[in-house]
Structure 1
Amino acid sequence: MVNHGDSPEAIYALFKLSWSQFECAPDQLDARQRSEAASLIANQLEIERVILSSDQSQGVVISEGQVKKSLEEIIERYENAAAFEQALEQADLTLALLREGIRRDLLVEATLDRVSASTPEVSDAEAELFYYFHPDKFSVTERRTAHHILITVNDDYDENRADRALARINEIRERVLKKKTRFNEQAQKHSECPTALHGGKIGNVERGQLYPELDDVLFAMQAGEVSEPVLSSIGYHLLYCTGIEQPRKLPLEEVLPKLKASLRDRQQSIYQRQWIKEQLKHQTEMPKAVNS
């Protein structure tokens, strides 16, 4: 919890940090978290002060529209207006302080963008070197397009006892095997999984995304194959593999534009961090120069 004597900047910083770092409201932080937050905020505010007092920040203008857009994005995270207002109250934050904090964030961001604007564009040759030296970053693992039908096992209901659930899913399987185009219809009618609304479609999955029992079966199937009933911890499943995407390496021409943009973003971040480091060093050396 912030003290009322804290600066508006510190109150706003704690409001942001408590959710981003600890996923809770400021008044829910324990003693260790409050101590950690105080240290992080002190460092953050010092960096922001240095950025905003730099020559590069002079003339940077943030429009009311930019502030409004960012504010609306924050409000949208809450269930309703009352929940948003309660969050502000718990953080000792007014709407005016929140708007000012947002404006400050945008000023910092715009200043850093100005600082790194002169970072050179990444050439095709530089991107190509990165591509060939980091092949794992451009590999697509095997994926399967899967649908399923679930009959849960629950002894509290006669129709969901283990023997009845197995019998029911075998009956469904017999109907599907006669005409696989009926799988979606059968899923909508009988599946006890929310995917029933979409014809049982799970989607494109990689190994490890499903229950281990389902994973093992799905990745041993052929495209167009319907599985035997598979028992998991929640019940019996009928799997339908409708497509297989083999593992492959993405071609350079496919990834080149995004790769160049990503590498330039990384270079800009490095340049920004170096610039901040130099500004902080300059600030600490200034008193020495004055006293000498």
Structure 2
Amino acid sequence: MSIPTDNPHAVYALFKLAWSHYECAPKDLDAEQSKEAAARVAHQLNIESAILYSDENQGIVVPDGQIKRALSEIRTRFQNEEQFLLALEQADLDLTLLEEGLTRELQVEAVLDRVTAGNVSVSKEDAELFYYMHPERFSVSEKREVRHILITVNDDYAENSESKALERIREIRARVEKKPARFEDQAMKHSECPTAMHGGLVGKVERGKLFPELDAVLFEMNSGELSEPVRSELGFHLLLCGEIEPARTVPLDEILPKLRQSLEDRQRAQFQRQWITEQLSRMNTPAQVVNA
């Protein structure tokens, strides 16, 4: 299956899919990606045709300002205007065809918004019921802020042999133990990890995110505590445990607005899928692409 180059809507759909899903120009897709993309574009255009043939499309007009904003958003994905125009050229598009594609896309969205208007609603009571019936979805794992200093073990270098690396990490620990405020400085000077540039900061982590050896030590430490040297497959680490955020259940009042919005979005998507299925079933033959 290939994309019909004489169909501007198909060309635009491929342009968007290639950059959003494969992060490359359509011409750079390999054979397998091209085959997959062609099938997805054909499916998408068939759905769009069913939507635009519907009675709900009557009277809908996409404002020029909305099209310009969408075009501007696409431009921001490229480093400059030259690269943007080059990408269009490589996809057999120009600004006129791009605007036509955006207009069609926005028309489809407007129809779907009209379809769900007044048909989707999640009450406060509905959201509360969902919250209490699914407590596991609102539990937050314990997190700990951690900094580390790494001295790697590499027998190809004398200073990074097992014994020398351990000696070096112990010397660093002794300096930090005397003056804890020096940890970030020592990390920047001695750590052999990219985090050295940020004073050894790894960030806030949950259990299971670090090497098992580090995980086991970190989650037994107190806030502000400095670890003994810990061996991992990379080498020796010093850990500094920072702020500890204990495991908790997010309170209902904290999550309620977002929860209602999330449930409404899910309900809206389900309603739209059902409606699209009904529109497709009314089409006796595969729909031809129509102008928005």
Q: For residues 15-54 of structure 1, what are the structure 2 equivalents within 5 Å?
A: 15-54=15-54
Structure with larger RCO (C-alpha < 8 A, sep 6+): 2
Q: Determine if contact 1:10/1:41 at 8 Å carries over to the other structure.
A: yes
Q: Secondary structure at 2:145's aligned position in 1? A: strand
In the TM superposition, residue 199 of structure 1 has moved relative to its aligned partner by 2.2
Separation (CA, whole Å) in 2 of partners of 1:239 and 1:283: 64
Separation (CA, whole Å) in 2 of partners of 1:171 and 1:234: 19
Q: Secondary structure at 1:165's aligned position in 2? A: helix
In the TM superposition, residue 4 of structure 1 has moved relative to its aligned partner by 6.3
Q: Determine if contact 1:2/1:91 at 8 Å carries over to the other structure.
A: no
In the TM superposition, residue 207 of structure 1 has moved relative to its aligned partner by 1.7
Q: Determine if contact 2:4/2:10 at 8 Å carries over to the other structure.
A: no
Q: TM-score, normalised by structure 2?
A: 0.86
Q: Determine if contact 1:2/1:11 at 8 Å carries over to the other structure.
A: no
Q: Which amino acid aligns with 1:200?
A: G
User: 1:101 — aligned with what?
Assistant: 101
Q: Which amino acid aligns with 1:262?
A: S
Q: Determine if contact 2:2/2:38 at 8 Å carries over to the other structure.
A: no
Separation (CA, whole Å) in 1 of partners of 2:162 and 2:89: 52
1:165 aligns with 2:165: yes
User: 2:249 — aligned with what?
Assistant: 249
Q: For residues 40-189 of structure 1, what are the structure 2 equivalents within 5 Å?
A: 40-155=40-155, 157-189=157-189
Q: Indicate the RMSD between aligned Cα atoms, in angstroms.
A: 2.6
Separation (CA, whole Å) in 2 of partners of 1:215 and 1:170: 20
Separation (CA, whole Å) in 2 of partners of 1:232 and 1:82: 48
Q: Determine if contact 1:119/1:267 at 8 Å carries over to the other structure.
A: no
- Alignment length (residue pairs): 285
Separation (CA, whole Å) in 2 of partners of 1:117 and 1:57: 14
In the TM superposition, residue 253 of structure 1 has moved relative to its aligned partner by 1.5
Q: For residues 226-265 of structure 1, what are the structure 2 equivalents within 5 Å?
A: 226-265=226-265
User: 2:284 — aligned with what?
Assistant: 284
Q: Which amino acid aligns with 1:274?
A: Q
Structure 1 residues 242 and 57: CA distance shift in structure 2, 3 A: same
Moved over 6 A (4+): none
Q: Which amino acid aligns with 1:273?
A: R
User: 1:9 — aligned with what?
Assistant: 9
Q: Secondary structure at 1:241's aligned position in 2? A: strand
Unaligned 5+ segments in structure 1 are 286-292
Separation (CA, whole Å) in 2 of partners of 1:251 and 1:6: 55
Q: TM-score, normalised by structure 1?
A: 0.86
